[in-house]
Amino acid sequence: MPPFEEPALDYLWFQMDDLTPLLMCSQQRNCVLRFRICAGWIREFYGDSWGRLINNTRLSTTPLHIYEAFVTAGASSPLLPNLRYLGWEPDDDFVPYTPLFLGAKLIDLELSICSTTPTTTDHSIISRIPALCPSLLSLRIDRDSEVLSGVISHLNILRDLQVDISTQATLFHVMCLHALHNVKLRLAPIVQSPIRPGRNVLVFPALQNYSITGSASLLIEIIELMSNCALEVIDLNVGTSSVRDVRRIIWMLLYRCIYPSLKSFNLTVHSSQAVSYSAPPDSPILTWYEIRGLSLFSNLSDVHIIPSGDLDVDDAALWDLSKAWPRVANLVLGPLPALQEPKITIQGLIAVAVCLASAPTSVSTMKPSEAALASVGHLRHEPTETSDLSPWDRAAALYPIVSSLRMEEEAYHAEEQAPYSSTDRALSGAGTMIDTLVTSELTFSPNGFKPVPKPTHSCIPSL
């Protein structure tokens, strides 16, 4: 029997935003063709993209026997042949029907494996991805498996990849994907050193966005094997590391990255009580000396440096950082050693403000002082050496440049909680001083400033 035709019903399909009713009406063999025609009209799959990310909560409400009917009806081609974006997080019962939604036009696939250990069915579905999705450009899969390495080796045009890696073979094939632009990897502790590709194989030659989580030693080995590339974003989440490891990571990046291309840099080092350092507890673990190589990336606009609780910088270091990164819009520096007196004062903020607001030729001759701050033309409020303004008043004068200044509440001790009468006055006038917003956010560590009386406000709000 040929599929029925009904203009009124076709109109209803076009107005729908849910796939389930259509599936419910298409159980019989003679309705499979009609399903494919109508599926292209449903609002959820209609438009320039010819298919958007499937909402799994809707699909999971469809009874299993509906999917089984399509399999029984011999639906060898995908149910949605024009589908381009698929997010699939099926319950175990729905896993066998995943291939019904994998098609030749699919370019973006997010596959979540629910079972703790991938099953034979999971392996079967993963192994079919290259054949069913030859146009795939983006793949996000949350679990490595014994077949994933072979699958990745056949996805030669893949541009975006997000995967948890637990085998040396998978890591090797990922490193050999020459078309990758964006990669996000989480390396399990059991992953061994990467296999060195052949002499003529370039590692990540087209990479632009590099995000990786793993041990310091493994990260160093991978970076060492990388080709020179125009990275724009670097996001490193490193296991517990020594100062030497951090320094080596930074200097290896200097050898592999094209300096002007890098726009965002994030380095987060996680701590562990099991690791001991030779330095005494009150000594700085990570200083400006270790990270000074980053100053060569002059176009950075976003910088996060968060070591394992041990970062020591002073006003002079902030001055150097500010001169090196005139375009920075978001600067986050991790905490200082808890047992060491902080070295950053309000002059550090002044240095940041002056450098970000001035031309490079004038920055080189300025000093981090109130006089230098007063020389910045667009400041309406000009503190002088003889003024009796408090540090908080002077901080408010930085608002033409800084739109958000965040100081964590933990920075202050109980004995330092006396009210500061001039704080409200300084903050109330800050909103009228905004001329130009160069820096959108500055975040300093909880004890990033020398202790001062705690203001009435726990933080200065965004303006």
Q: What percent of the chain clears pLDDT 70, i.e. is strictly above it?
A: 51
The number of distinct structural domains making up the chain is: 1
Q: Has residue 8 been placed in a domain? A: yes
At 355-406, the pLDDT tens digits run 664 433 222 222 334 444 444 433 333 333 444 444 445 545 544 444 444 4
Residue 54 lies in a domain: yes
- Please indicate, yes or no, if residue 454 is contained in any of the structural domains: no
Quick one: 351 exposed, middle or buried, by C-beta within 10 A (0-12, 13-18, 19+)? buried
pLDDT band with cut points at 50, 70 and 90 for residue 185: very high
Residue 10 has pLDDT above 60, yes or no: no
Which of the pair, 130 or 72, is modelled with greater confidence? 130
pLDDT tens-digit profile of 224-263?
A: 999 888 999 999 999 877 788 888 999 999 989 989 999 9
The residue count for the chain: 463
Report the b/e string of 39-62 with b at 16+ CB within 10 A.
Answer: bbbbebbbeeeebbebebeebeeb
| pTM across the whole model | 0.69
Establish if 46 belongs to a structural domain. Answer: yes
For residue 180, pLDDT over 90 is answered with yes
Please say whether the beta carbons of 412 and 423 come within 8 A.
no
pLDDT band at 441 (very low <50, low <70, confident <90, very high): very low
322-350 tens-digit pLDDT: 888 888 877 777 765 554 555 667 677 67
When mean pLDDT is compared across 98-107, 118-127, 267-276, the lowest value belongs to: 267-276
Residue 395 inside a domain? The answer is no
| 134, 108 contact by CB (below 8 A) | no
Instruction: Give the contacts of 415 (CB within 8 A, at least 6 positions apart).
Output: none
Is the pLDDT at 141 greater than 60, yes or no? yes
Does residue 390 lie in a domain region? no
Range of the domain at 134: 1-143
Looking at the DSSP assignment, which residues form a beta bridge with residue 460?
Answer: 405
Residue 12, in any domain of the structure: yes
Structure confidence at residue 432 as a pLDDT band (50, 70, 90)? very low
Given its phi and psi angles, is residue 102 left (phi above 0), alpha (psi -120 to 50 degrees) or beta? beta
On whether residue 246 sits in a domain, the answer given is no
- Burial pattern 256-285, b for ≥16 Cβ within 10 A else e, equals bbeeeebbbbbbbbeeeeeeeeeeeeeebb
In the three-class reduction of DSSP (H, G, I as helix; E, B as strand; rest coil), residue 274 is classed as coil
Nearest-angstrom CA–CA distance, 214 and 217: 8
Q: Which of 82-96, 251-265, 279-293, 377-391 has the lowest mean pLDDT?
A: 377-391
Over residues 203-210, the mean pLDDT reads 92
Position 146 pLDDT exceeds 80: no
Reading phi first (left if > 0) and then psi (alpha if -120 to 50, else beta), residue 204 is in: left
